Amino acid sequence: MAWRYVARHRFKTAILVLSLALIVFIPVGLRVLVAQSERELTARAERTPLVIGAKGSPLELVLSSLYFSLDAPQTLRFDAVDRVADTGLATPIPLSVRHRSRSDPIVATTLDYFGFRGLRIADGRLLTRLGDCVVGARVARRRGLGPGQSVISSPENVFDLAGVYPLKMRVTGVLAPTGGPDDEVIFIDVKTAWIIEGRAHGHKDLERDTLLGRDGDRLTANAAVVEHNEVTDANVGSFHFHGDQAAFPITAIVAVAPDRKSADLLMGRFEGPDERLQIVRPDLVVDTLIDTVFVVQRFVVAALAIVALATLATAALVVMLSLRLRRREIETMVRIGGARSTIGSILALEICSVVAAAVTLAAALTWLTSLFGAELVRTLITG
Amino acid sequence: MNAYWTIPVLAAIAGCTDTQVPAPPANTGPTVYAVNYPLQYMARRIGGDVVDVVFPCPAGVDPADWRPDDATVEACQGADLILLNGADYARWTRAASLPPSRLVDTSASFRDDYIETERGLTHGHGPDGEHTHGRIAFTTWLDPVQAIAQASTIRDAFASRWPEHSAGFEAGFESLRADLASLDDRLGPLLAASDGPLLFAQPVYQYLARRYGLDAVSFHWEPDEMPADDQWQLVAGQPATLMIWQAQPDAAIARRLESLGITSVVFSPCANTPDDGDFLSVMEANLRNLD
Q: Kindly state whether residues B142 and B200 are assigned to the same domain.
A: no
Q: Kindly state whether residues B77 and B109 are assigned to the same domain.
A: yes
Q: Kindly state whether residues B179 and B231 are assigned to the same domain.
A: no
Query: What's the complex ipTM?
Result: 0.80
Which tens digits make up the pLDDT trace of A304-328?
888 888 888 887 887 788 778 777 8
Inter-chain contact A130–B17, Cβ cutoff 8 Å? no
Q: Kindly state whether residues B63 and B141 are assigned to the same domain.
A: yes
**What mean pLDDT is reported for chain B?**
86
Best A242, A250, A266 member to test B by mutation, with max B CBs in 10 Å, is A242
Q: Give A 95-124 residues with CB within 8 A of chain B.
A: 110-112, 114-116, 118-121
- The reported pLDDT for the residue numbered A33 is 81
Chain B residue numbers with beta carbons less than 8 Å from the beta carbon of A132 are 97
Question: Cα(B220)–Cα(B137) distance, rounded to whole angstroms?
Answer: 14
Q: Kindly state whether residues B178 and B245 are assigned to the same domain.
A: no
- The reported pLDDT for the residue numbered B92 is 92
- pLDDT at residue B3 tops 50: no
Query: How many helices, marked H, and strands, marked E, lie in chain B?
Result: 10, 12
Q: Across residues A274-278, what is the average pLDDT?
A: 92
Nearest residue on chain A to B66, judged by CA atoms?
A237
- pLDDT at residue A162 tops 60: no
Please check whether residue A199 touches B, CB under 8 A: yes
Q: Kindly state whether residues B130 and B141 are assigned to the same domain.
A: yes
Nearest to A68 by CA among A182, A148, A173: A182
Counted domains in chain B: 2
Please check whether residue A197 touches B, CB under 8 A: yes
Q: Kindly state whether residues B172 and B245 are assigned to the same domain.
A: no
Nearest residue on chain B to A198, judged by CA atoms?
B126
Q: Kindly state whether residues B45 and B143 are assigned to the same domain.
A: yes
Helix (H) or strand (E) holding A151: strand A150-152
- The reported pLDDT for the residue numbered B17 is 36
Q: Kindly state whether residues B242 and B179 are assigned to the same domain.
A: no
Split at pLDDT 50, 70, 90, the class of A242 is confident
The shortest CB-CB distance from A128 to any of B12, B14, B96 is to B96
Nearest to A32 by CA among A315, A339, A370, A269: A370
Helices (H), chain B: 8-16, 37-47, 70-77, 92-95, 144-161, 166-192, 206-211, 229-236, 251-259, 279-290
Which tens digits make up the pLDDT trace of A116-133?
999 999 999 999 999 999
Inter-chain contact B123–A128, Cβ cutoff 8 Å? no
Question: Cα(B69)–Cα(B92) distance, rounded to whole angstroms?
Answer: 10
- The reported pLDDT for the residue numbered B129 is 53
- The reported pLDDT for the residue numbered B205 is 95
Q: Kindly state whether residues B250 and B142 are assigned to the same domain.
A: no
What are residue B96's phi and psi, to 5 degrees?
-90, 155
Nearest to B32 by CA among B92, B89, B75: B75
| Residue span of the structural domain in which B67 resides | 3-184
Give the gap in angstroms from C-alpha B240 to the nearest C-alpha of chain A.
31
Q: Across residues A40-66, what is the average pLDDT?
A: 91
- pLDDT at residue B249 tops 70: yes
- pLDDT at residue A262 tops 90: yes
- The reported pLDDT for the residue numbered A215 is 63
Question: Cα(B5)–Cα(A82) distance, rounded to whole angstroms?
Answer: 10
Q: Kindly state whether residues B28 and B148 are assigned to the same domain.
A: yes
- pLDDT at residue B158 tops 90: yes
Q: Across residues B204-212, what is the average pLDDT?
A: 95
Domain boundary residue among B129, B164, B184?
A: B184
- pLDDT at residue B150 tops 90: yes
Q: Across residues B155-168, what is the average pLDDT?
A: 96
- The reported pLDDT for the residue numbered B24 is 45
- pLDDT at residue B262 tops 90: yes
Question: Cα(A137)–Cα(A121) distance, rounded to whole angstroms?
Answer: 10
Helix (H) or strand (E) holding A190: helix A190-196
The shortest CB-CB distance from B3 to any of A85, A130, A262 is to A85
The model carries a pTM of 0.80
Q: Across residues A75-89, what is the average pLDDT?
A: 94
List Cβ neighbours of A291 (8 Å cut-off, separation of 6 or more). none
Inter-chain contact B2–A201, Cβ cutoff 8 Å? no
CA B161-B164-B170 angle, to 5 degrees, is 80
Q: Across residues B42-62, what is the average pLDDT?
A: 95
Chain A residue numbers with beta carbons less than 8 Å from the beta carbon of B22 are 125-126
- The reported pLDDT for the residue numbered B200 is 94
Chain A residue numbers with beta carbons less than 8 Å from the beta carbon of B2 are 82, 85-86
Split at pLDDT 50, 70, 90, the class of A206 is low
- pLDDT at residue A160 tops 70: no
Inter-chain contact A126–B22, Cβ cutoff 8 Å? yes
Inter-chain contact A114–B17, Cβ cutoff 8 Å? yes
Split at pLDDT 50, 70, 90, the class of B284 is very high
- pLDDT at residue B49 tops 90: yes
- The reported pLDDT for the residue numbered A61 is 93
- pLDDT at residue A340 tops 80: no
- Which CATH number characterizes residue B157's domain? 3.40.50.1980
Total residues found in chain B within this entry: 291
Domain boundary residue among B130, B164, B184?
A: B184
Question: Cα(B152)–Cα(B169) distance, rounded to whole angstroms?
Answer: 10
- The reported pLDDT for the residue numbered A159 is 55
Give the gap in angstroms from C-alpha A284 to the nearest C-alpha of chain B.
22
- Dihedral Cα B180, B183, B185, B191, nearest 10 deg: -140
Q: Across residues B207-217, what is the average pLDDT?
A: 93
Inter-chain contact B74–A114, Cβ cutoff 8 Å? no
- The reported pLDDT for the residue numbered A132 is 96
Nearest residue on chain A to B4, judged by CA atoms?
A85
Give the residue extent of every domain in chain A.
Answer: 2-40+290-382, 50-280
Question: Cα(B106)–Cα(B173) distance, rounded to whole angstroms?
Answer: 14
Share of chain A above pLDDT 70, in %: 89
Q: Kindly state whether residues B205 and B179 are assigned to the same domain.
A: no
Please check whether residue A125 touches B, CB under 8 A: yes
Share of chain B above pLDDT 70, in %: 85
